[in-house]
Chains A and B, each alone.
Chain A
C-alpha cells in the first residue's frame, strides 16, 4: 500500500492513468505540476497523452513549474479520503472548488500565463487525482506540518 505523499504513491497513480482510456480521451496535457504537502514537494509531469514522470523536488524548483497545488497534509488527506469514499471527488472536493474556497489559493504559480494551465487541463488533473480511488493509500504521519 503506497504512502501519501511519496514518489511511490504518485508512480502508482501515473501507472493507472497511463493505462486509462478515459484519461487519454480527455486529450493532451502539457504541464509541469507541483504538489506541496507540508514541507514535501513533488513534481508531476504531463506530456501529450501521458503522465511522463514523478520526482521529489525542492522549494527552489517551484519557479520551473507551471503551477503547484498546496495545502496542509490534513487537507490533502481529507481530499483523498473523500475521493476514495465517493469514487471521485464529490461536490466539495474538486480541485477548482478547493481553489475557490481558499483565500490563500490552492493552485499557485509565479507566472500569470502558466497558472492558467490549471484551468486549461483541469479535467485531466481532476481525473488524475480521482484515479487514486482505485488504490489504498496510507497517510504519512511524518508529512503532517
Chain B
C-alpha cells in the first residue's frame, strides 16, 4: 500500500535535460516544474528565451505567495504577473486593411506549432499557469484543422459582412405569379434549413479545436454567423412577398455532415462538397431571380459561401501536402458525402422548384428540368476543379450518378 501511494517518479525527457544543462537550469528545478504540471515544450521555450533559473525560482515563489485558496487582502499587491517571461516589446504595425490577424503574427506569437501541447484555453504565446483545468479539446494537431488562408478569410468575412434587414431593399419586392412565388419560397426554405444546419454543426465542432490554432477558431466563428445569416435572409425572403415557407428537405445529405466523426471529414463534406454545390445553386438563383432585391441577396450569399469553400479546399490541400497517407481516407469521406448528396434527388420539391424558377413558370417545368440537369453539370465541374486545386483527383472515385452529368471526355479527367 505504501508503494501505491508514493509520489510517481518524475523523469526529465533527455532532450529537455540536455537543454536545461546547456542553459544552467539545475535538474531539481526542472523536476519541480514538471511536478507542478509544466509542459516540456513550455520549459524549452522559456530556456530559448533566455529566462534564467533564478528568474524561474523567483516567478514560482511569487506565484506561491500570491496563490492559495484564500483571497488576498485587497491592500496587498501581487505583481508576479509583471515578470511573466513572454516575448515583450512587440509592436505590430497596421496594414492597409488595419491591424489584421496576420499583422500580429510576429515573433513567437506567429509560431504555429505542428502539435499544440496545452489542454487549456491558454492563448498562443502566453505563459501557462500550472493547475488550470483542461477544456476538453480533442484536436491538437495542425494538420487536422489548418488552412493557410484562415486568418485572411476571417478578416475578409468581418470586413464583408452584410445586414439582411437593411442591405436588401425588401420594400421593392413586387407580387409574383403564384407558381413562381411558391418555387422561390420552396428554394428559400431549403437554403434556410441548410444555413441553420451549417451554423449548428460548426458550432458543435468549435469546442473540439484546441486554442493554439485561434485563426481557425475565429474564422469558423464567422462561418457560424454566416450560416445564421443565410437561415435569416432566406426565411425573410420566403415571408416577405405574399408567400410562406415550403416543405422541409428530406435531409439525406445533411446526415453525412452531422454524422462526420472527424473534423477533416466534416470539412470535406460540408465546406467542399456541399458548399460547392450550394454555391452553384446560388449562382443560378442570382441569375434567374425576377427582382433586383433577390438578385442582390443571392450575390451577397454567394460571397459568404465562396469563402467557406476557400477554407475547405485550402484545408484539404494542407492535409494532403503534410499527410499524404490520408489521401485515400479523404476519397472515402467524399465517396460517402457524394452518395448521400445523390439521395437528395429524392427531394422532388426542391428540384421541381428550381425547374420552375429556371424556366420561368410551372407550364414550362419540363424545359426547366432539362436546365436543372445543366446546372448539375456545372456543380460537378466546379466541385472537381476545386478538388484538383487541392491536389485531389476524384477520377474513378467520383460517384457514378454525378459522373453521368459530365460530358464523356470529362468523366475521368
Question: Contact: A122 with B160, CB < 8 Å?
Answer: no
Question: Contact: A113 with B306, CB < 8 Å?
Answer: no
Question: Contact: B388 with A122, CB < 8 Å?
Answer: no
Number of A-B contacts (CB under 8 A): 85
Taking the complex as formed, is B279 at the interface, i.e. its CB lies under 8 A from any CB of chain A? yes
**Which residue of the partner chain A has the closest CB to B317?**
A113
Question: Contact: B314 with A27, CB < 8 Å?
Answer: no
Taking the complex as formed, is B194 at the interface, i.e. its CB lies under 8 A from any CB of chain A? no
Question: Contact: B97 with A48, CB < 8 Å?
Answer: yes
CA distance A122 to B287 in the complex (A): 13
Taking the complex as formed, is B119 at the interface, i.e. its CB lies under 8 A from any CB of chain A? no
CA distance A122 to B282 in the complex (A): 12
Q: How many residues of A contact B (CB 8 A)?
A: 28
CA distance A72 to B159 in the complex (A): 34
Which positions 320-374 of chain B face chain A at CB distance < 8 Å?
A: none
Taking the complex as formed, is A139 at the interface, i.e. its CB lies under 8 A from any CB of chain B? no
B279 partner residues in chain A, CB cutoff 8 A: 119
Question: Contact: A28 with B159, CB < 8 Å?
Answer: yes
B109 partner residues in chain A, CB cutoff 8 A: none
Given contacts A91-B295, A112-B388, contact A28 B97 (CB under 8 A): yes
Which positions 78-123 of chain A face chain B at CB distance < 8 Å?
A: 90-91, 94, 96-97, 99-101, 111-113, 115-117, 119-123
Given contacts A94-B286, A112-B388, contact A123 B300 (CB under 8 A): yes
A47 partner residues in chain B, CB cutoff 8 A: 96
Taking the complex as formed, is B161 at the interface, i.e. its CB lies under 8 A from any CB of chain A? yes
Question: Contact: A120 with B303, CB < 8 Å?
Answer: yes
A23 CB to nearest B CB, Å: 12
B interface: dominant SS: helix
Give B residues with C-beta under 8 Å from A. 95-97, 152, 155-156, 159-161, 279, 283-284, 286-287, 289-292, 295-296, 299-300, 302-303, 305-307, 309-310, 313-314, 378, 385-389
Question: Contact: A94 with B306, CB < 8 Å?
Answer: no
CA distance A115 to B302 in the complex (A): 13
- CB < 8 Å neighbour of B306 from A49, A90, A120: A120
A48 partner residues in chain B, CB cutoff 8 A: 95-97
Question: Contact: A122 with B389, CB < 8 Å?
Answer: no
Question: Contact: A121 with B385, CB < 8 Å?
Answer: no
A18 partner residues in chain B, CB cutoff 8 A: none
Taking the complex as formed, is A137 at the interface, i.e. its CB lies under 8 A from any CB of chain B? no
CA distance A126 to B310 in the complex (A): 21
CA distance A40 to B155 in the complex (A): 34
Extra pairs beyond A96-B302, A122-B306 (19, CB < 8 Å): A27-B156, A27-B160, A28-B97, A47-B96, A48-B96, A50-B96, A94-B295, A94-B299, A97-B295, A99-B287, A112-B313, A112-B385, A112-B388, A113-B389, A115-B385, A119-B283, A120-B303, A120-B307, A120-B310
Most buried by A among B155, B287, B307, B385: B287
- CB < 8 Å neighbour of A97 from B159, B161, B286, B378: B286
